[in-house]
Amino acid sequence: MTSIRPVLVAPLAAVLLLTSCTDTGPRQNAGAATGAVAGGILGGILSGRPAGAAAGAVAGGIVGGAIGSQLDKQAGELRTAFGDDRIGVVNTGSSLVVTMPQDILFATDSAQLSGSLQSDLGVLARHLNKYGDSNVQVIGHTDNTGAASYNLNLSRQRAAAVANTLIRNGVGSWRITAVGRGEDQPVASNLSAEGRAQNRRVEIIIIPIT
């Protein structure tokens, strides 16, 4: 009987931890679930025993739940600070994804930021400086109009323009990675004008350092 009990501890601990978070919202629960799984795997590897996986699951779940709760708070602050429904702020449970449509960032075929957007990036920079324990990925995207190579280069230039603006507003350059994906990661169909407009965007992904 004693050889069975440690095997059951890890899944039981994870279940108890997750059910204890049912009132905290789906994003925080997602953070707890991610933390529990990662913690369980790490605990099992380090200890070589199921009991180690159980301890890792509990610790990871607690950390993951805390991260999810913190991201909920940050997401609410950002939405209020932006005051612009066109800017999306989504808590994935492990990161915040801020999506800025190209149409409010740049003119067509340009990597020159619009004047009005400078203030929005200033808002984002202040938020990043307030919550300094995170890394930031700036990812440029385009629709599929024109040559793929041109779109890739344009997306890189736009990501760099956003990253440089954040740096000029005091965000540490070591925290920021800027990349372009061109037309390779659409979020809507490129067969309609509305879909292409959704695909032209810059995503700023805020990833907590744990």
The 3-state DSSP composition of the chain as helix, strand, coil percent (nearest 5) reads 60, 15, 25
Among 188, 71, 63, 82, smallest CA distance to 126 is for 82
Tens digit of each residue's pLDDT, the chain (210 residues): 444 444 433 443 443 333 344 344 544 455 544 454 444 444 555 556 655 444 444 444 445 566 778 999 999 999 999 998 899 999 999 999 999 988 788 888 889 887 767 789 999 999 999 999 999 999 999 999 999 999 999 999 999 999 999 999 999 999 999 999 999 999 999 999 999 999 999 999 999 997
Give all strands of the β-sheet with 201-208 in edge-to-edge order: 88-91, 96-101, 201-208, 134-141, 176-180
Query: How far, in Å, are 31, 52, 161 from residue 61 at the CA level?
Result: 8, 14, 37
Encoded tokens for 35: 């933390």
For residue 137, the cross-strand partners are: 177, 205
What is the pTM (predicted TM-score) of this model?
A: 0.71
CATH entry 3.30.1330.60 includes domain 95-208: yes
Q: Domain-by-domain residue ranges, the chain? A: 5-70, 95-208
